[in-house]
Copies of this chain bind each other. A is one copy, B any other.
Amino acid sequence: MARTTGSDGEKTEATIREAAINLIARLGYEAMSMRQLAAEVGVQAAALYRYFPTKEELLFTLMREHMEGLTEAWEAARPVSADPAQRLSAYVENHIAFHIERRHATHVSNMELRSLSPERLTQILRMRTAYEKELRAILRDGAETGAFSIDDTGLTAMALIQMMTGVIVWFRPGERLSIAEVTATYLSMTMRLVGAKIDAYSAARPFGRAKDAVAF
């Protein structure tokens, strides 16, 4: 047989991406076979190659789009204010919201880097470094103006990112805590970690204040 009734290239490609993210997140890239993916999509394995020339190209596409999405989300959320505390708040909120909403894609982007060819790995890491650089700049500015007291901005940035991204390991939507509660608590922890002056930021942002007021 051949073309099936109702078949549509765009729909199929979108289904492939979605199914691939879920399968790779669950089984791992190496453990997922193209036949498994095809079965999930409801198609034969050969049909996948109409959309992605190789398995690795599929993985790379998923990762690149994830990083592009993260960068775009931050560019949209970045405040015009120069105040380090406000900028840090925005960074934390954007980072956590984005990663919780795309848990599976984040899992893929973080865990499957070693399956990329060197050139593609470099490309993804460049995007990641650029994104992290934004955080370092905020921390450096805050340290210079005295808004924060920080030992080592590079090390602190890495610690914060690991802490925030780690949310996807244990967070399950619809359980004990809502996204807003988690974000508020992480914001409070972040501000304490960088030694931010109390309430220098929270007045400007009415986000999760009730809980923060006590803890922070």
Interface residues of A in 173-216 (CB under 8 A from B): 177, 182, 185-186, 188-189, 192-193, 195, 211, 214-215
- Is the interface on chain A under 10, 10 to 19, 20 to 34, or 35 or more residues? 35 or more
Query: Which residue from B30, B155, B166, B214 sits with its C-beta under 8 Å from A162?
Result: B166
Q: Are B163 and A114 in contact (CB under 8 A)?
A: no
Q: Are B163 and A159 in contact (CB under 8 A)?
A: yes
Copies of this protein in the complex: 2
Residues in B with CB closer than 8 Å to A151 are 185, 188-189, 211, 214-215
A124 CB to nearest chain B CB (Å): 14
Q: Are A189 and B114 in contact (CB under 8 A)?
A: no
Q: Are A166 and B155 in contact (CB under 8 A)?
A: no
Query: Can you list 23 A-B contacts with CB-CB less than 8 angstroms, sorted by A residue number?
Result: A28-B28, A30-B30, A31-B114, A111-B111, A149-B215, A151-B185, A151-B189, A151-B211, A155-B182, A155-B185, A156-B189, A158-B169, A159-B166, A159-B186, A160-B163, A161-B166, A162-B166, A162-B167, A163-B166, A166-B166, A192-B195, A193-B193, A195-B215
